[in-house]
Amino acid sequence: MKYPRILCLTIALVALAACQPKSPSGTASESSSSSPAVASVNGTPISRDFYEFYIKGVTGGKTSSDLSPEQRSAALDNLIRAQLIAEEAQKENLDTQPDTAQLIKMERLNVLEQALSQKYLAGKHPTDDDLKAEYNAEVAKLPQTEYHARHILVATQPFAEKIIDRLKKGEKFEDLAKAESMDSSKTNGGDLGWFTLDHMVKPFADAVSGLKDGQYTTEPVQTQYGWHVIQLLGTRPVSPPPFDQVKQRLVQVVEAKKFRAYTDDLLKQAKVETYLDTKSDSEGSGKSGAPASAPAAGSSAPSGNSGGM
């Protein structure tokens, strides 16, 4: 049995137990009165159904009969402890504290969203044609070229210009990088390895794309990190991952898009009033419409890591 997973689910159980209506004793009420109890905690039963559901969750689909006596005992002990913890938390009124209440509310939304997603997607497994279409669309978005470059990073433009002068006089790029660069790549002679341009800040990427193999920038390139002198060592075509290697991930992507389209339809049919002005982050008069999408991720610093599907 995977005990770290058991612990995580136990924590979730504590939060969910606090969502349930309180019985006269102040503990979580039992959801299934028809299922026999496997234990009782201060008068509150833990049903067989709940016990089996817990085991299925932490073992990836097994039942209690598939486990050893020690594992069954450990599972039951975790549920008992979860119930005790939930009761104690409620006695301390922790379930009414703002952060805890919001966390419980969010957990409930997540559980219901997952349940609806599973119900909606049942019988809608993507076909190979669906997956290949998604694969081709993803491959088309990938950069077509990888670049191999090295650089020398210094603090000022005049110093960068002196580096370029020294290169013109015949000093070796890697030697200057080791002696003068502020970047950690100096230990490798400034070598950044292979990368695609989308992994570099724009001024750096623009400069690299304008070079031919073996050339270095004859003017310093400024980024938020300082001033760069860059040399292009080579280029090569990007090789996308094989279809079979990413097939399972494509299933998740296609299913997520199907469920997103379904929720888009729900949103169109719903009456939605928003009261938050997202530009000023303040409440205002209500207006109809869907929430704005999340902002795009920011640019990353120069790096030798290449992207991929």
Mean pLDDT, the chain, integer: 86
Among 223-232, 250-259, 264-273, 280-289, name the one with the lowest average pLDDT: 280-289
Domain boundaries, the chain: 3-120, 143-239+271-309
Task: Output the CA angle 46-47-51, nearest 5 degrees.
Answer: 85
Token digits of residue 263: 């929720």
pLDDT of residue 287: 58
CB distance 134 to 256 below 8 Å: no
pLDDT of residue 31: 47
pLDDT of residue 166: 97
Nearest to 158 by CA among 223, 220, 218, 224: 220
Token digits of residue 156: 């000022």
CA gap 222, 121 in Å, rounded: 50
**Residue 2 confidence class, pLDDT cut points 50, 70, 90:** very low
Give me the mean pLDDT over the 287-307 stretch: 45
Token digits of residue 290: 């869907």
DSSP state letters, 130-159: HHHHHHHHHHHHS-SEEEEEEEEEES-HHH
CA gap 199, 271 in Å, rounded: 41
Q: pLDDT tens for residues 78-116?
A: 999 999 999 999 999 999 999 999 999 999 999 999 999
Phi (first) and psi of residue 36, to 5 degrees: -65, 150
pLDDT of residue 284: 65
**Residue 20 confidence class, pLDDT cut points 50, 70, 90:** very low
**Residue 282 confidence class, pLDDT cut points 50, 70, 90:** confident
Give me the mean pLDDT over the 224-251 stretch: 96
Token digits of residue 97: 């504290």
CA gap 309, 153 in Å, rounded: 30
pLDDT of residue 280: 82
Give me the mean pLDDT over the 252-270 stretch: 97
How many percent of the chain have pLDDT more than 70? 81
Burial tier of 33 (Cβ tally within 10 Å: 0-12, 13-18, 19+): exposed
pLDDT of residue 168: 97
Q: Class assignment of domain 143-239+271-309? A: alpha beta
pLDDT of residue 278: 83
CB distance 47 to 32 below 8 Å: yes
**Residue 19 confidence class, pLDDT cut points 50, 70, 90:** very low
Give pTM, 2 decimals.
Answer: 0.64
- Distances in Å between the alpha carbon of 19 and those of 9, 30, 39, 56, 200? 15, 12, 21, 22, 46
Same fold, 3-120 and 143-239+271-309: no
Rg (alpha carbons) of the chain, rounded to whole number: 29
Q: Which fold is adopted by the domain 3-120?
A: Helicase, Ruva Protein; domain 3 (1.10.8)
